[in-house]
Structure 1
Amino acid sequence: MTATARRYHLISLDDLGPGELDRVVRLGVDFAERRTHGEPLSGTVVGVYFRKTSTRTRTSFSAAALRLGARIISFGPDDLQEKTGESSADTGRVLARMLDALVARTAGSTEELRAWARQESMSVINAMSAAEHPTQAVTDLITLHRRFGGVTGRRVLYLGEGNNTAAALALGLARFPGTELHLRTPQGYGLDGDVLARSREYAAETGAFVEERHDLDHLPDGIDAVYTTRWQTTGTTKPDPHWRSAFVPFRVHSALFDRYPEAAFMHDLPAHRGDEVTADVLDGPRSIAFDQAENKVYAAMAVLEWCLRDG
């Protein structure tokens, strides 16, 4: 790395041009399968700033940076002068003069991340915003690749809220030829309309398929993976006190999962057994949820190398 190397940002999967998402996924798979990888990020400093709780994403980016030879500085929600009134813009300007990359979970709008990214000396990586969880999608695609030997043509059934994980999954999976994403979301808790439209635009270009329904009628056949997420997304609340009644029909239980005897089960974790998934499915032999969690490290390694590459 050189002091004048240009930095790249990953705030949305939309930031990746044609073919770049596939290259990032393949890089992550390569990291997973290689015994050694050197220290390509030696001499860089990565900031890890989480305003919201995190187990997998925070640990994976910290571990990834260290494995690639970078040094890390971790910030919690009360550690920066934003807490005492400094503007977010000033905080970003200062950090950009000291760090090579900032991995940030704001759980709010991506506009703040976009503002921090208006420079080329510090990469900004979205570790989950309210709208999208792009590095989770990279993880999911790496998981599908490692499980099935590739992403092209994979068919996924997603049940639950159209949250930031579902948004990223739709924007990511639709970039791969012949894939299918069947979303089954409760009425009123579906995917954001703009995200659904963009994912369908990608699908039209690649020959993929994205469908959303708000019932469990006409479930697809031949699914490779059944995917669900926690009903209560981290850092959010639902205004309707009776929201759970709308979600119960979308629980992944053995009767539903057994419709697909060859399918794997995926979950971004943390899981609430008995809510979005029953314990026998999550802890069963076809669950790859904890493999998925491990793959977050390789996804983080791939994203960091992509963002901090010379060029």
Structure 2
Amino acid sequence: METVKTLAHYPSVQPFKWSGKDFLRGDEFSKEELEHLLQLAIHLKQLQKDGQVYQPLKGKTLGMIFDKASTRTRVSFEVGMYQLGGIGMYLNGKELQLGRGEPISDTAKVLSRYVDGIMIRTHAHSIVEELAAHASIPIINGLTDLFHPCQALADLQTILEHKGKLKGVKVAYIGDGNNVAHSLVLSAAKLGMDIRVATPAGYEMNETITRQTQALADAHGSKLLTTTDPELAVYGADIIYTDVWTSMGFEEENEIRLNAFAGYQVNEKLVKLAHKDYSFMHCLPAHRDEEVTGEIIDGPHSVVFDQAENRLHAQKAVMATLLT
């Protein structure tokens, strides 16, 4: 009979006992814990590719609250829980009592009696913080207007897989200083990465988060550059990353944003300034011929679908760590 492999067959990585409870921003884990989490994600991915069963969350349930539309987040969390032996329960925020005015604190306390963890994709980050403050179970941020930590973890996994390291890797983020940028820079700053963020004036990252990132960079030997010049950011970069110019909730600003971001398109001219072996990243969904041209996102340097796949594996590592 063929032996069913478990993580015991991959002795370099095991789920670790974490002293924290929630994953809300992207900087909750220490440098060593982040490195461990990324290796765990890579090993869980290999187990899945090998067709091996690993179910540490058998009998566990993850409540998944969605106040925003989703493709990757919903599917990756639901499939991830299934692969880990648990159940992902979809909860439409508009159909919960939250949508009829129930206090967040009451919802947190009630769901803590029913499920083993909550993933929430919502608008204001304060909602997630209040949910975490009143819940006795782990809360995972699936996206807020301020942070997107699960995306950042998948991004780092993708960079590690394609570049073989993180320390010293030059990442150029071009476009809106949004939730994706915030979580990415906070996590990358702990890992010795060279981070360049180019945004139009008025669309910079949150000032407090920028200061926190600089402090982390100083402590961990990383470099942080914020600029309005995309060419300066991209020069010699190993990774070029962009996102949509108009995120969910800002649709009424679309025309204004199209004008403001006109010089920030990732195109053939811009990428010529990067390292010849650069990788292109985008968290998706993408608007071809706005923030990036089709020849780049669909070209040989693009790793966007590896990046999207890694949402599944990175989140499995988070769930295996928080819910066991």
Match of 2:291 among 273, 276, 295: 276
The whole-number CA distance in structure 1 between the counterparts of 2:255 and 2:261 is: 12
Higher relative contact order (CA 8 A, sep 6+): 1
TM-superposition CA deviations, 1:105-130 (whole Å, max 9, x none): 01212x22222223574110000111
Do structure 1's residue 245 and structure 2's residue 259 form an aligned pair? yes
AA paired with 2:133? R
CA distance in 1, matches of 2:233, 2:76: 34
* 210-219 vs 289-298, greater mean Cα deviation: 210-219
Alpha-carbon shift at residue 32 of structure 1 (Å): 1.6
| Structure 2 Cα separation of the partners of residues 305 and 233 of structure 1 | 30
Q: More displaced, 285-294 or 114-123?
A: 114-123
**CA distance in structure 2 between the aligned counterparts of 1:254 and 1:83, rounded to whole angstroms:** 46
Instruction: From 130, 147, 170, give the equivalent of 1:115.
Output: 130
Whether 1:204 aligns to 2:204 is: no
Structure 2 residue identity aligned to 1:273: R
1:217, distance to aligned residue in structure 2 (A): 5.1
Compute the TM-score of the two structures, normalised by the length of structure 1: 0.92
**What's 1:191 paired with?**
205
**Stretch moving more, 82-91 or 57-66:** 82-91
Alignment of 1:43 with 2:59, yes or no, is yes
Change (3 A) 1:273 1:81: same
Which of the residues 230, 249, 255 maps onto 2:244? 230
The one-letter code matched in structure 2 to 1:61 is: F
The structure that is helix-richer by fraction is 2
Q: Which residue identity is paired with 1:182?
A: R
**Compared with structure 1, are the counterparts of its residues 180 and 37 closer, same or farther at alpha carbon in structure 2 (3 Å cutoff)?**
farther
Which amino acid in 2 is paired with 1:251?
Q
Aligned mates of 2:271, 2:207 — CA distance in 1: 28
State the secondary structure of the residue aligned to 2:119. Answer: strand
* Alignment-derived partner of residue 128 in structure 1: 143
Q: Say whether the 8 Å CA contact 2:121–2:143 is kept in structure 1.
A: yes
Counterpart for residue 72 of structure 1: 88
SS of 1:59's equivalent in the other structure is helix
User: Which residue, 19, 24, 45 being the options, matches 1:32?
Assistant: 45
| Aligned residue number for residue 116 of structure 2 | 100
Task: Give 3-state SS (helix, strand or coil) of 1:271's partner.
Answer: coil
Equivalent runs, 1:291-310 vs 2, <5 Å: 291-309=306-324
Amino acid at match of 1:32: K
Percent of residue pairs identical: 32
Note the residue ranges of structure 2 that are not aligned, 5 or more in a row. Answer: 1-17
Question: By how many angstroms is 1:78 displaced?
Answer: 2.3
Task: Tell me how far apart the structure 2 counterparts of residues 151 and 238 of structure 1 sit (CA, whole Å).
Answer: 38
* Contact 2:68 2:123 (C-alpha < 8 Å) held by counterparts: yes
In 1, the alpha carbon distance for the partners of 2:138 and 2:165 equals 28
Q: Does the 8 A contact of 1:25 with 1:138 survive in 2?
A: yes
Alpha-carbon spacing, 1:151–1:7, altered in 2? closer, same or farther (3 Å): closer
CA contact (8 A) 1:31 1:37 kept: no
* 1:23 partner amino acid: H
Query: How has the CA–CA distance of structure 1 residues 240 and 263 changed in structure 2, closer, same or farther, with 3 Å as cutoff?
Result: closer
Q: Partner letter of residue 14 of structure 1?
A: D
Q: CA deviation at 1:17?
A: 3.1
- Select which of 164, 167, 175 maps to 2:190: 175
Distance 1:58 1:235, change over 3 A: farther
Match of 1:23 in 2: 36
Aligned residues: 303
- Deviation at residue 276 of structure 1 after TM alignment: 0.3
Q: C-alpha separation between the residues in 2 aligned to 1:209 and 1:244?
A: 30
**1:143 to 2:161 alignment:** no
State the one-letter code of the partner of 2:318.
V
CA-based RMSD: 1.9
Unaligned runs of 5+ in 1: none
Does the 8 Å contact 1:8/1:308 carry over to 2? no
Give the match's secondary structure for 2:115.
Answer: coil
Shift of 1:220: 5.0
